[in-house]
Amino acid sequence: MAIVKIPKKLKDILNILRNGQIEEGLEQLDKIKDFEVQKAIVKAEINYFKGNYQEALLYDEQALPFDDQWYAGNILTEHLFAYSYSSILSGNFLQAEKFLKQFLLDKEKRELPEHRVNFYRHQINHHLMKLNGEKKIIIDPKELVIIENGNKQEEFVEQLKKYRSKLDYNSVEGAEYLLNFMFEKYNTISALEYYETYADKIKNEDHHISAARLYVKIDNKQRASEALLRFSCKAWFPVEHIQITPMKLWMFEDLQPIFTQELKNKILYSSKGNQ
């Protein structure tokens, strides 16, 4: 099955949904003929964020087997994270294990390029490990740690001068470049203070997520939630039209303490995707 072209009418509905007008968008989506895989992807995303995990899992089980309809591969990968974690939250272990094993078996039976088969084996086998209670799986994002004695501020100023000489340390552009290094090598509190100075203008998605993860570690849930809302409503941008929510958030298990239903509702019903 070839990837289908998304018509303007459907794109408009997806924009409505991304804008947080969920009920109106769903009503219009149900009136669209065909595009069943795309509809299932959208409804899975909405139900994950609504906390309707059983419904979300069912919609993903309808859509995931049609991997050639998923456009960019990272969208499918993000859904797999949501699928396995939501299966754990809802106690749906047996059904999830059965589905994932069948999903992989179907891919191995098809005449796919070896690298694609290996990708599915790697992903599915590690999600099965998650279902079995294993922690710190290879596919999980790298853990961030609290740093008390890291590099000095002057070292980052010199780094900027050496590798990005046209950028100013006291600017959004300078922060965009340096924060990746600061979150890993600078005093954590100082790095977060530097982040906050430019946070509302930072476009790099990873900076907001890293800030949120570090705020969770220092037990500042309010700041962590604010960082996630910045990511979701100001920085996140869909790779494809079919994305209506920042499913990337389901990849970070350390964010779960702040990923409350209240926060998920705020994200779902807010305007997203740099519209």
Which pLDDT score, from 0 to 100, does residue 273 have? 85
Greater confidence, 60 or 136?
A: 60
- In-domain check, residue 20: yes
- In-domain check, residue 67: yes
Domain, as residue range, for 176: 153-268
* CA 141/CA 125 separation, integer angstroms: 16
Amino acid at 27: E
Query: 68: how many CB neighbours lie within 10 A of its CB?
Result: 12
> Is the domain of 91 the same as that of 126?
yes
- Model's pTM, two decimal places? 0.94
Which pLDDT score, from 0 to 100, does residue 3 have? 65
Which pLDDT score, from 0 to 100, does residue 39 have? 96
Which pLDDT score, from 0 to 100, does residue 68 have? 84
* CA 175/CA 138 separation, integer angstroms: 29
- In-domain check, residue 147: no
- In-domain check, residue 143: no
Torsion (CA) 209, 19, 40, 247 in degrees, nearest 10 = 0
- In-domain check, residue 60: yes
Mean pLDDT value of segment 167-186: 97
* CA 131/CA 207 separation, integer angstroms: 29
CATH number, position 252: 1.25.40
Quick one: tokens of 195? 């982040």
- In-domain check, residue 141: no
Q: Is the pLDDT of residue 1 over 60?
A: no
Mean pLDDT value of segment 231-254: 94
Quote the mean pLDDT of the chain. Answer: 94
- In-domain check, residue 120: yes
Which pLDDT score, from 0 to 100, does residue 2 have? 58
> Is the domain of 16 the same as that of 122?
yes
Which pLDDT score, from 0 to 100, does residue 74 have? 86
